Amino acid sequence: MFSTPLTITIFGFGAFGKLAAALLAPHAHVSVFDKSCDARQAASELGFSIIRDVSDVHADVVVLAVPAQSLEQCLLDIAPHLREGQLVIDVCSIKEEPARLMRSHLPAHVEILASHPMFGPQSAMKGTADSQIVLCPIRGTRWRRLAAFLRQRLGFGIIVTTPEEHDRQTARSQGLTHLLAHAFATLGEHPRICTRSSELMSEAIALVAHDAPEVSDAIVLGNRHLAPLRESLISALSSFGETEVNKHSPAQTDGQPYEA
Amino acid sequence: MFSTPLTITIFGFGAFGKLAAALLAPHAHVSVFDKSCDARQAASELGFSIIRDVSDVHADVVVLAVPAQSLEQCLLDIAPHLREGQLVIDVCSIKEEPARLMRSHLPAHVEILASHPMFGPQSAMKGTADSQIVLCPIRGTRWRRLAAFLRQRLGFGIIVTTPEEHDRQTARSQGLTHLLAHAFATLGEHPRICTRSSELMSEAIALVAHDAPEVSDAIVLGNRHLAPLRESLISALSSFGETEVNKHSPAQTDGQPYEA
């Protein structure tokens, strides 16, 4: 049903598009589409075929590696040119809204898979072993063939779920991490006097601190499940000490003040 | 000036007192004082000499391994019994208030060192190699001999600073970590769908999540430098999106919506 080798066109040769192209190139025929001349030149210098006209995208799999904020325009651009049976995949860090946009803008003869690779250029620098990709099948069945390819050829762990469940879980994990990275950036450098736990927290923040602002915006503002978590976090940060002061005051442990 | 081997009495055989006793025992004669019968029994079973009367503390070095909230009562109890030249050390996670209490309650013939071992029972499980101890000399010069002992015999890194500088730096590192651990505890389990950065953040939080409430209270509420950082953090968490939405809206990148 797919060509051998698999043909893949990556739309958008930004930070993630580059990473995806590099990971896929040994196992598939990868071509690149990007409106920017600089990006096309960079892709060409790395040996990728360049597609100059959106109507020339004939690959089995079309990976939309564009910011979440640009996805709708991208879909409107490519929709009239897609052929029967092509599989279109997004790689946005949120899934409910991209899934809705793809379902609504892509023609019925196109198959759709919403995906979220749980790694980025920063974390992939240490390799993608043990890395996971979340797949949310939206339309068609060819995604199963791609899932097998990603698992067997590239060694990725595959998690299949719904866009809603993805966004609910990543609000708690990725969403809060990005929100905190943003907040910590306002507090100055990590100091010399520190504990192992604060070092780990700094490492966590450093991994996402250099993500493009568009990425953080999508993750924090585009995930409807994050707002209540943000409220709870702020509330818990604000309330620390209001009750604890009374609970553990020295007065109440007076009898045995320094026992085990 | 000190005995050979060094004699050390540890006041308080709680989580940290136990760790300190275990680390010091191969290199010094360690005795333990604790008001609790259970704690004395535990210390005795581990082979430590037990001191039953506070007036019998004759060691060169007296380590007060008691919660910050109990330090003042402990100082009042031992102050009348201390001998000329003994070196008294606290190990609280904050330093300004303990330093003030020791200076004000301990007799002039006693030397004083405020200290903060930058590890705990959780992080020490992976070993104390590369671990650091912050020393804030308060009175006398014998602390230099102890610093050499900790560095040469136990392999610790030694940072010498003032109580104020310690508290200023640890508010940003340890203080915020404890505050966040408390806040995250209200948000439920870390989900299966997660990124490397959120895993690191969970590891950071797990390291301090099981600390005694008294420890977190001292670190968060006993450090005057943390309050403004907490306000800044909450403010940054609240404001995310208020300006970013406008900065990175798709409308402004319309011309080249999915380029690199």
Q: Work out the pLDDT band at B71, boundaries 50, 70, 90.
A: very high
Q: Which residues of chain B neighbour A240 with C-beta distances below 8 Å?
A: 179, 182-183, 220-221, 230
Q: Above 80 in pLDDT, residue B258?
A: no
Q: A36, B69: Cβ pair inside 8 Å?
A: no
CB nearest to A257's CB, from B70, B123, B169: B70
Q: How far is A93 from chain B (nearest CA, A)?
A: 11
Q: A35, B259: Cβ pair inside 8 Å?
A: yes
Choose from B57, B240, B258 for mutation: most chain A CBs within 10 A.
B258
CB nearest to B234's CB, from A64, A161, A234: A234
Q: Which residues of chain B neighbour A230 with C-beta distances below 8 Å?
A: 237, 240
pLDDT digits (tens, 9 = 90+) for A17-59: 999 999 999 999 999 999 999 999 999 999 999 999 999 999 9
Distance (Å, rounded) from C-alpha B197 to C-alpha A174? Answer: 7
Question: B194, B238, B139: which is closest to A169 by C-alpha?
Answer: B194
Q: How far is B256 from chain A (nearest CA, A)?
A: 6
Q: Above 60 in pLDDT, residue A249?
A: no
Q: Above 80 in pLDDT, residue A246?
A: no
Q: B258, A64: Cβ pair inside 8 Å?
A: yes
Choose from A36, A193, A225 for mutation: most chain B CBs within 10 A.
A193
Q: What is the mean pLDDT of chain A?
A: 90
Question: B183, B222, B211: which is closest to A239 by C-alpha?
Answer: B183
Domain boundaries, chain A: 7-161, 166-239
Q: Above 70 in pLDDT, residue B114?
A: yes
CA of residue A163 relative to chain centroid, distance: 13
CB nearest to A250's CB, from B73, B192, B257: B73
Element (H, E) at A15: helix A15-24
pLDDT digits (tens, 9 = 90+) for B18-30: 999 999 999 999 9
Distance (Å, rounded) from C-alpha A146 to C-alpha B229? Answer: 47
Q: How far is B38 from chain A (nearest CA, A)?
A: 8
A to B CB pairs, distance under 8 Å: 301
- pLDDT value of residue B123: 79
Q: Which residues of chain B neighbour A12 with C-beta distances below 8 Å?
A: 258-260
Q: Which residues of chain B neighbour A177 with C-beta distances below 8 Å?
A: 195, 197-198, 201
User: Which residues, listed in sequence order, are joined to residue A31 by a DSSP beta bridge?
Assistant: A9, A49
Q: Helix or strand or coil: residue A73? A: helix
Characterize B141-160 residue by residue with b for buried, 16 or more Cβ atoms within 10 angstroms of its Cβ, and e for exposed: ebbeebbebbeeeeebeebe
Residues whose CB is less than 8 angstroms from the CB of residue B217 and which lie 6 or more positions away in sequence, other chains included: A241, A244, A245, A248, B69
Choose from B123, B158, B186, B193 for mutation: most chain A CBs within 10 A.
B193
Query: Contact at 8 Å (CB) between A32 and A13?
Result: yes
Average pLDDT rounded to a whole number, residues A244-257: 43
Q: A179, B234: Cβ pair inside 8 Å?
A: no
Residue recorded with tokens 């910590």: A184
User: In terms of CA atoms, which chain B residue is nearest residue A123?
Assistant: B196
Q: Above 50 in pLDDT, residue A227?
A: yes
Q: Above 90 in pLDDT, residue A83?
A: yes
Q: Which residues of chain A neighbour B165 with C-beta distances below 8 Å?
A: 193
> How many Å is the Cα radius of gyration of chain A?
22
Q: Vertex B76, ends B73 and B82: CA angle to 5°?
A: 135
Distance (Å, rounded) from C-alpha A162 to C-alpha A181? Answer: 27
Q: B232, A38: Cβ pair inside 8 Å?
A: no
Choose from B73, B174, B176, B196 for mutation: most chain A CBs within 10 A.
B196
Residues whose CB is less than 8 angstroms from the CB of residue B252 and which lie 6 or more positions away in sequence, other chains included: none
Q: B188, A182: Cβ pair inside 8 Å?
A: no
CATH T-level topology, domain B7-161: Rossmann fold (3.40.50)
- pLDDT value of residue A29: 96
- pLDDT value of residue A213: 87
Query: Contact at 8 Å (CB) between A257 and B66?
Result: yes
